[in-house]
Amino acid sequence: MESTTTPKLGDEFAEAMSYAAKLHATQTRKGGDIPYFGHLMSVSALVIEAGGSQTQAIAGLLHDAVEDQGGKPTLDEIESRFGSAVAKIVSECSDTDEVPKPPWRDRKERYIVHLRGASDDAVVVSLADKVDNARAILRDLRLHGDRLWQRFNVKDPEQHLWYYRSLLAVFEERTDSWLVDELRYTVEQIAALVAGPTVGP
Protein backbone atom coordinates (compact mmCIF):
# COMPACT_ATOMS: atom_id res chain seq x y z
CA MET A 1 0.00 0.00 0.00
CA GLU A 2 1.19 3.51 -0.85
CA SER A 3 0.03 6.86 0.47
CA THR A 4 -0.18 10.44 -0.74
CA THR A 5 0.03 13.76 1.04
CA THR A 6 -3.27 14.90 -0.49
CA PRO A 7 -6.46 12.82 -0.14
CA LYS A 8 -7.69 11.48 -3.48
CA LEU A 9 -11.28 11.52 -2.21
CA GLY A 10 -12.39 14.43 -0.06
CA ASP A 11 -15.23 15.39 2.24
CA GLU A 12 -17.61 15.80 -0.69
CA PHE A 13 -17.25 12.11 -1.53
CA ALA A 14 -18.03 11.13 2.07
CA GLU A 15 -21.05 13.44 1.98
CA ALA A 16 -22.23 11.81 -1.24
CA MET A 17 -21.97 8.36 0.34
CA SER A 18 -24.13 9.48 3.26
CA TYR A 19 -26.63 11.19 0.96
CA ALA A 20 -26.91 8.15 -1.34
CA ALA A 21 -27.34 5.80 1.63
CA LYS A 22 -30.23 7.88 2.93
CA LEU A 23 -31.78 8.40 -0.49
CA HIS A 24 -31.87 4.65 -1.22
CA ALA A 25 -32.33 3.50 2.40
CA THR A 26 -35.48 1.46 1.76
CA GLN A 27 -34.51 0.15 -1.67
CA THR A 28 -33.24 -3.39 -2.26
CA ARG A 29 -31.87 -5.27 -5.26
CA LYS A 30 -34.47 -6.99 -7.44
CA GLY A 31 -35.73 -10.25 -6.00
CA GLY A 32 -33.96 -10.06 -2.66
CA ASP A 33 -33.27 -8.12 0.50
CA ILE A 34 -29.75 -6.94 -0.34
CA PRO A 35 -29.55 -3.16 0.26
CA TYR A 36 -29.41 -1.32 -3.05
CA PHE A 37 -26.65 0.87 -1.66
CA GLY A 38 -24.27 -2.05 -2.19
CA HIS A 39 -24.70 -1.64 -5.95
CA LEU A 40 -24.01 2.09 -5.73
CA MET A 41 -20.80 1.47 -3.79
CA SER A 42 -19.72 -1.15 -6.32
CA VAL A 43 -20.28 1.22 -9.24
CA SER A 44 -18.34 4.00 -7.54
CA ALA A 45 -15.54 1.56 -6.69
CA LEU A 46 -15.30 0.41 -10.31
CA VAL A 47 -15.11 4.04 -11.44
CA ILE A 48 -12.26 4.64 -8.99
CA GLU A 49 -10.44 1.45 -9.99
CA ALA A 50 -10.72 2.48 -13.64
CA GLY A 51 -8.93 5.74 -12.86
CA GLY A 52 -11.99 7.94 -12.57
CA SER A 53 -12.13 11.32 -10.87
CA GLN A 54 -13.86 12.20 -7.62
CA THR A 55 -16.62 13.85 -9.64
CA GLN A 56 -17.17 10.62 -11.57
CA ALA A 57 -17.02 8.55 -8.37
CA ILE A 58 -19.68 10.74 -6.73
CA ALA A 59 -21.84 10.42 -9.83
CA GLY A 60 -21.39 6.65 -9.54
CA LEU A 61 -22.92 6.79 -6.07
CA LEU A 62 -25.82 8.90 -7.32
CA HIS A 63 -26.34 7.54 -10.83
CA ASP A 64 -29.73 5.94 -10.07
CA ALA A 65 -31.09 8.69 -7.85
CA VAL A 66 -33.07 10.45 -10.58
CA GLU A 67 -34.62 7.26 -11.99
CA ASP A 68 -35.46 5.67 -8.66
CA GLN A 69 -35.85 8.46 -6.13
CA GLY A 70 -37.88 11.36 -7.39
CA GLY A 71 -37.00 12.40 -10.92
CA LYS A 72 -36.20 16.04 -11.74
CA PRO A 73 -36.55 17.41 -8.17
CA THR A 74 -33.88 14.95 -7.02
CA LEU A 75 -31.59 16.02 -9.86
CA ASP A 76 -32.03 19.64 -8.80
CA GLU A 77 -31.08 18.72 -5.24
CA ILE A 78 -27.99 16.86 -6.45
CA GLU A 79 -26.91 19.93 -8.42
CA SER A 80 -27.42 22.13 -5.37
CA ARG A 81 -25.42 19.82 -3.09
CA PHE A 82 -22.70 18.48 -5.39
CA GLY A 83 -22.49 20.86 -8.32
CA SER A 84 -23.43 20.98 -11.98
CA ALA A 85 -20.69 18.58 -13.14
CA VAL A 86 -22.00 15.74 -10.96
CA ALA A 87 -25.61 16.55 -11.85
CA LYS A 88 -24.80 16.48 -15.57
CA ILE A 89 -23.27 13.00 -15.33
CA VAL A 90 -26.18 11.71 -13.25
CA SER A 91 -28.64 13.13 -15.75
CA GLU A 92 -26.79 11.52 -18.66
CA CYS A 93 -26.74 8.15 -16.88
CA SER A 94 -30.50 8.17 -16.33
CA ASP A 95 -32.64 6.52 -18.96
CA THR A 96 -35.61 8.61 -17.83
CA ASP A 97 -36.59 11.29 -15.35
CA GLU A 98 -40.28 10.67 -15.99
CA VAL A 99 -42.52 9.40 -13.18
CA PRO A 100 -43.92 6.83 -13.86
CA LYS A 101 -41.28 5.39 -16.16
CA PRO A 102 -42.06 4.78 -19.86
CA PRO A 103 -42.13 1.18 -21.20
CA TRP A 104 -38.86 -0.78 -20.79
CA ARG A 105 -37.99 -1.28 -24.48
CA ASP A 106 -38.64 2.36 -25.34
CA ARG A 107 -36.41 3.54 -22.49
CA LYS A 108 -33.59 1.19 -23.43
CA GLU A 109 -33.65 2.06 -27.13
CA ARG A 110 -33.55 5.77 -26.33
CA TYR A 111 -30.73 5.27 -23.82
CA ILE A 112 -28.57 3.39 -26.34
CA VAL A 113 -28.95 6.22 -28.85
CA HIS A 114 -28.31 8.79 -26.12
CA LEU A 115 -25.16 7.02 -24.91
CA ARG A 116 -23.48 7.36 -28.30
CA GLY A 117 -23.37 11.12 -27.80
CA ALA A 118 -22.97 11.23 -24.03
CA SER A 119 -19.99 12.87 -22.35
CA ASP A 120 -16.85 10.85 -21.63
CA ASP A 121 -17.60 11.25 -17.91
CA ALA A 122 -21.04 9.71 -18.31
CA VAL A 123 -19.66 6.84 -20.38
CA VAL A 124 -17.26 5.92 -17.56
CA VAL A 125 -20.04 5.84 -14.96
CA SER A 126 -22.55 4.09 -17.21
CA LEU A 127 -20.01 1.42 -18.11
CA ALA A 128 -19.25 0.75 -14.44
CA ASP A 129 -22.99 0.51 -13.76
CA LYS A 130 -23.57 -1.99 -16.55
CA VAL A 131 -20.59 -4.11 -15.49
CA ASP A 132 -21.91 -4.39 -11.95
CA ASN A 133 -25.45 -5.13 -13.12
CA ALA A 134 -24.23 -7.78 -15.56
CA ARG A 135 -22.09 -9.39 -12.86
CA ALA A 136 -25.15 -9.55 -10.59
CA ILE A 137 -27.20 -11.22 -13.32
CA LEU A 138 -24.45 -13.75 -14.01
CA ARG A 139 -23.98 -14.55 -10.33
CA ASP A 140 -27.70 -15.02 -9.71
CA LEU A 141 -28.18 -16.99 -12.93
CA ARG A 142 -25.55 -19.43 -11.69
CA LEU A 143 -27.22 -19.63 -8.29
CA HIS A 144 -30.90 -19.70 -9.26
CA GLY A 145 -31.04 -20.65 -12.93
CA ASP A 146 -33.87 -19.39 -15.11
CA ARG A 147 -35.92 -18.41 -12.06
CA LEU A 148 -33.76 -15.29 -12.03
CA TRP A 149 -35.68 -13.74 -14.92
CA GLN A 150 -38.96 -13.78 -13.00
CA ARG A 151 -37.74 -10.93 -10.80
CA PHE A 152 -37.58 -8.55 -13.78
CA ASN A 153 -40.49 -6.71 -15.35
CA VAL A 154 -39.17 -7.97 -18.70
CA LYS A 155 -38.76 -11.72 -18.23
CA ASP A 156 -37.35 -12.70 -21.64
CA PRO A 157 -33.57 -13.21 -21.27
CA GLU A 158 -33.07 -12.51 -24.97
CA GLN A 159 -34.31 -8.96 -24.41
CA HIS A 160 -31.73 -8.43 -21.69
CA LEU A 161 -29.00 -9.89 -23.91
CA TRP A 162 -30.08 -7.58 -26.73
CA TYR A 163 -29.72 -4.61 -24.38
CA TYR A 164 -26.31 -5.55 -23.03
CA ARG A 165 -24.92 -6.40 -26.47
CA SER A 166 -26.18 -3.08 -27.79
CA LEU A 167 -24.57 -1.26 -24.88
CA LEU A 168 -21.34 -3.17 -25.39
CA ALA A 169 -21.19 -2.07 -29.03
CA VAL A 170 -21.45 1.56 -27.94
CA PHE A 171 -18.86 1.21 -25.17
CA GLU A 172 -16.43 -0.45 -27.59
CA GLU A 173 -16.67 2.64 -29.78
CA ARG A 174 -16.41 5.14 -26.94
CA THR A 175 -13.64 3.89 -24.64
CA ASP A 176 -10.69 1.52 -24.35
CA SER A 177 -11.20 0.99 -20.61
CA TRP A 178 -10.54 -2.50 -19.24
CA LEU A 179 -14.13 -2.38 -18.03
CA VAL A 180 -15.24 -2.98 -21.64
CA ASP A 181 -13.43 -6.33 -21.62
CA GLU A 182 -15.04 -7.13 -18.28
CA LEU A 183 -18.51 -6.36 -19.65
CA ARG A 184 -17.87 -8.40 -22.81
CA TYR A 185 -16.73 -11.43 -20.82
CA THR A 186 -19.69 -11.21 -18.44
CA VAL A 187 -22.26 -10.87 -21.24
CA GLU A 188 -20.72 -13.85 -23.04
CA GLN A 189 -21.03 -15.92 -19.88
CA ILE A 190 -24.67 -14.91 -19.46
CA ALA A 191 -25.39 -15.77 -23.10
CA ALA A 192 -23.80 -19.21 -22.70
CA LEU A 193 -25.98 -19.99 -19.69
CA VAL A 194 -29.12 -18.74 -21.44
CA ALA A 195 -28.33 -20.93 -24.45
CA GLY A 196 -28.02 -23.96 -22.18
CA PRO A 197 -25.63 -26.90 -22.44
CA THR A 198 -24.38 -27.75 -25.90
CA VAL A 199 -24.99 -31.24 -27.23
CA GLY A 200 -21.89 -33.02 -28.49
CA PRO A 201 -21.67 -35.02 -31.74
One-letter-per-residue 3-state SS of the chain:
CCCCCCCCCCHHHHHHHHHHHHHCCCCECCCCCCECHHHHHHHHHHHHHCCCCHHHHHHHHHCCHHHHCCCHHHHHHHHHHHCHHHHHHHHHHCCCCCCCCCCHHHHHHHHHHHHHCCCHHHHHHHHHHHHHHHHHHHHHHHHHHHHHHHHCCCCCHHHHHHHHHHHHHHHHHHCCCHHHHHHHHHHHHHHHHHHCCCCCC
Q: Is 132 a catalytic residue?
A: no
Residue tagged active-site, from 64, 67, 92, 140: 67
Q: Is 67 a catalytic residue?
A: yes
Residue tagged active-site, from 12, 68, 79, 109: 68
Residues with active-site annotation? 67-68
